[in-house]
Structure 1
Amino acid sequence: MTNPDDDRWDIDEVDLPALDEDWPSRPALGLGPAQAAALAHAIEEGVAERGCDGTLRAARNWALRAGTNWTELQKRLCERGGYCDCEVLLNALEPD
């Protein structure tokens, strides 16, 4: 900081990790590209119909129809920041 009474940081004084450093890897979603696209489409349709109700309703419905192990998929979605349908679209399905 340039001034001890100033709360703003001088960017040159902040230790930022280099872009090429290893960042923690995100857990694999365990879906192929076609499955991930189908899941995204199902969630988009579900959210368009009913809005996001703070649950994984559309994701769960897709998993059950697709024969995917819901318990495992739910765990991986949550580990990637997908705690509800809209967060799955914004966080969990985002490419690594």
Structure 2
Amino acid sequence: MNTTDQDRKKAWKIQQKQLARDAFPIADGLLESLFDAVDAGVEQSGCDHSLRFTTSWLLERRQPKDKVLSWLREHGGFCDCEVLANAADHWEQSR
């Protein structure tokens, strides 16, 4: 791969990361707090294959529940443990 192709690939990757960040449903710091809270809940009580810890966090902090849950599902977060395994991984790679 020549230098021009490498530069274009690098620019494309940067652009894709920015698009992913722009699509975050809430601020980066809030997502970090959400993932930390869900992780603590799952670690303490396990995953019951629902979004109980995620939904609880969103409601307690008056965050846009439908918007966040939709984004989480788009990235494989259909229950609390999948929020951590899939959506949090997407967030980590995109921030």
- TM surpasses 0.5: yes
Distance 1:28 1:72 in 2: 11
Post-superposition, which runs of at least 4 consecutive aligned residues in structure 1 deviate over 3 A?
A: 22-27
Structure 2, gaps ≥5 residues long:
1-8
8 Å Cα contact 1:42-1:62 kept in structure 2: yes
Counterpart of 2:3 in structure 1 is none
Distance 1:28 1:80 in 2: 11
8 Å Cα contact 1:29-1:77 kept in structure 2: no
**Among 59, 65, 77, the residue aligned to 1:82:** 77
8 Å Cα contact 1:77-1:92 kept in structure 2: yes
More helix by share: 2
Distance 2:44 2:32 in 1: 18
Alpha-carbon offset, residue 80 of structure 1: 0.8
TM-score by length of 1: 0.68
Structure 1, gaps ≥5 residues long:
1-19
Alignment of 1:1-96 (within 5 A): 20=9, 28-94=23-89, 95=92, 96=94
RMSD after superposition = 2.3
TM-score by length of 2: 0.68
Cα deviation digits, residues 66-93 of structure 1 (max 9, x gap): 1101111111110111011111111112
Which protein has greater RCO, CA pairs closer than 8 Å, 6+ apart? 2
